Each structure stands twice: as structure tokens, then as C-alpha cells.
Amino acid sequence: MKTTRVKIFYDGGHIPSDRFESIISSLSRKINGWLEENADVEIINILQSESQGAENAWNLTVTVFYRQ
């Protein structure tokens, strides 16, 4: 069975792209590492949300619903 992977896409627009790209890359690596370590899980759904606070502070969350 092939390993499940995640790729997070976004439209950078007015976002400070270098910083946001770093956040996206880091989160993708964390999720893909978890998926590799848990290859036996059945992915039910994946949801994503983001928010921006003061001074360009970003909060990006990816939620993976799964069965094991």
C-alpha cells in the first residue's frame, strides 16, 4: 500500500511569503512524518484552518480524522 501524504496549498497574496512558506513546510513535514509512522491508519477526513493575529503572527492547524 502506498503511503498517504499531505500537500498544503495556499495563495500567498499579501501574506509575507517567506515566513508563511516556512510555516507551511514545517507543518507538511510534521504531518507527513506522522503519516509515515502511522501507515496503518485509515484517513477519514482532513480539515485545515488558519488565522492571523497581531504583528503577522500565524496560526495554521491541520486536523486529521482517522481510524486505527
pLDDT of 30 > 60? The answer is yes
Higher pLDDT, 9 or 47: 47
For the chain, the domains span: 17-67
Task: Report pLDDT for 1.
Answer: 59
- 48 vs 61: CA distance, rounded Å: 6
CA 53 to chain CA mean position, Å: 19
pLDDT of 42 > 80? The answer is yes
pTM here?
0.71
Grade residue 13 by pLDDT with cuts at 50, 70 and 90. Answer: low
